[in-house]
Amino acid sequence: MDLESLGNAFEDAGEGIRTLLSSSTLADGAYKHPLVRPHFQATPGGAMTVFSRAAAYIVAASLTGLLSGCAGLPTGRFDVLVGSVKSVETTTTETDREITLLTRHFMIFSPSPGPYRVESFVPVIEIQGQRRDFDFGPRLEPRGAALDVLVSYAEALAAFARKDYQGELDQATQSLGGSVQRLASIPTATAEVKQGAGVLATGVNALGRAIIDRMRKAALGKAMNEAAPGIQQIVTFVKDINSLAAVAVGVMRDDMLRKANGITPADGLARVQLNERVEAVVVESNTILARLKQINTAIDAIKPAHDEIREALVRDEGAPLEKLKALVAEAKRLQRFYSTLK
């Protein structure tokens, strides 16, 4: 409902008051209205006072018009945003497992010299004659935590867009707070990504103060506008980690190939087994590199889709959301990823 319609509602209420001042009874329909009955003020004789009748008409005319005139928030697009962001997070987690498995293969090719010990198989690599730690797992953790913040934020928006949102919003807000706290506790997470996560949490914390649909729509748009820089900081951080992961995968692959070429097994079963191991390294490495590239493409589509949804709150909500469709397309590609053997 716009301000002009709201003013008309109160003008109608004023006419009702004038009618009541010249009447001794309240219309049964108005008295029975669920928004009016709590305001019924009876005298010992059972009749309503003129003031109570006027108040009843004000409540019936203005509040009923206000609540019925505001269109509900569009919930489907927020659910789609949640699903797409979750797809990026899920695929990233799966890719991290593949990176960890590749690291284990790398350790098999690069054992410490001498008899086997507990420390024989560790993720280290020789660079200019010096052995360096190559355990990339801890470097992946803050990226996963940052994506978890992004998912929790999208879930909070979707919860707030629903009609009966209070319970779900509270749950989503607590989840977002936990995700932000987890990210903040990781020493290797950058100050920028921690700040970005805090921006998202601050915007969501303000959502619960809105009551009616019109206020909720304005509050939602404000929160999304304020969260936009935080989303970009998270996107940038995730892409930076993906770039480092791609470099690490390439280094491990090349080092394993170099060492495999130094092995001279006899023809027969030993040769087949070595071929199998080397082939697995090449295919796994190429698959990981291709998937990291697709993840970057998908995560680049999140902020434009988010901003488009925000802008649609103040313009034609029936207009097609092309950037959201683009995000969905990239998320579907991640879900149906097919690796190449080339």
Give yes or no for residue 7 having a pLDDT over 80. Answer: no
Range of the domain at 11: 3-69
Residues 113, 247 share a domain: yes
Kindly state whether residue 340 falls inside one of the protein's structural domains.
no
Nearest to 239 by CA among 287, 193, 194: 193
* 3-state DSSP of 95-110: HHHHHHHHHHHHHHHC
The model's pLDDT over 148-199, given as tens digits with 9 standing for 90+, comes to 999 999 999 998 888 767 778 888 888 999 999 999 999 989 999 999 999 9
pLDDT confidence bin for 217, thresholds 50/70/90:
confident
How many domains is the chain built from?
Answer: 2
The model's pLDDT over 62-96, given as tens digits with 9 standing for 90+, comes to 434 333 334 567 788 999 999 999 999 999 999 99
d(CA 123, CA 133) in angstroms, rounded, equals 6
- Range among 73-82, 103-112, 164-173, 200-209 with highest mean pLDDT value: 73-82
Residues 165, 93 share a domain: yes
Kindly state whether residue 179 falls inside one of the protein's structural domains.
yes
The model's pLDDT over 228-269, given as tens digits with 9 standing for 90+, comes to 999 999 999 999 999 999 988 998 899 889 888 888 877 788
